[in-house]
């Protein structure tokens, strides 16, 4: 059992996606754009509104708004109502986490503040895993983990060993 922090009720293993996700959408009661009409004639960014997680056919249905942080860009969403709970959950549950897996994160300089916020929440005994084909990401995670008094990072460049 798992849950997406800030999107779903706390129940099981936390998953945090502070840069958004293509499977997140605005809650139906947040902003009414009407039915999607292409080409889109409305454009909005950085809407701090409730989000829901999409599943099944809803993932491929037309929608007018998806909030994600582009690659190599700094996030502007730290205080969003569905983002800050991610860091709150990790601060509160960090002592219980035996293994924390960072999947697909690049660890570019713009991401390192968020990365370190999660690492600080973990105990020195938590196994920290980086699942990314880029060895560079694992080295950066390892640097920050050791700097913060954590274990050396386990590298999964090809997925779970």
Ranking 40-44, 100-104, 107-111, 116-120 by mean pLDDT, the lowest is: 40-44
The percent of residues above 90 in pLDDT, for the chain, comes to: 58
- SS3 state of residue 59: helix
Give dist(CA 7, CA 59) in Å, integer. 16
Structure tokens at 12: 């099981």
Phi, psi of 86 (to 5 degrees): -60, -50
Give dist(CA 84, CA 16) in Å, integer. 10
Give the model confidence (pLDDT) of 4-46 as tens digits.
999 999 999 999 999 888 899 888 878 777 776 777 677 677 8
Tell me the domain boundaries of the chain: 1-72, 97-155
Which is nearest to 157 in space by CA: 130, 121, 123?
Answer: 130
Instruction: Provide the b/e sequence for 77-96 (b: ≥16 CB within 10 Å).
Output: beebebbebbbebbeeebee
- SS3 state of residue 159: strand
Structure tokens at 40: 């889109």
Which is nearest to 96 in space by CA: 118, 120, 121, 115?
Answer: 121
């Amino acid at each position: 059992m798992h849950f997406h922090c800030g999107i779903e009720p706390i129940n099981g293993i936390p998953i945090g996606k502070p840069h958004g996700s293509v499977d997140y959408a605005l809650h139906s009661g947040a902003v009414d754009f009407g039915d999607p009409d292409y080409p889109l004639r409305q454009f909005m960014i950085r809407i701090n509104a409730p989000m829901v997680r999409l599943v099944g056919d809803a993932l491929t249905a037309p929608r007018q708004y998806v909030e994600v942080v582009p690659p190599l860009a700094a996030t502007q969403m730290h205080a969003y109502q569905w983002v800050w709970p991610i860091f709150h959950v990790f601060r509160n549950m960090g002592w219980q986490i035996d293994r924390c897996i960072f999947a697909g994160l690049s660890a570019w300089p713009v991401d390192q503040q968020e990365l370190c916020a999660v690492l600080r929440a973990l105990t020195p005994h938590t196994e920290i895993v980086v699942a990314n084909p880029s060895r560079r990401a694992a080295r950066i995670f390892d640097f920050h983990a050791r700097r913060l008094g954590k274990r050396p990072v386990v590298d999964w460049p090809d997925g779970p060993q």
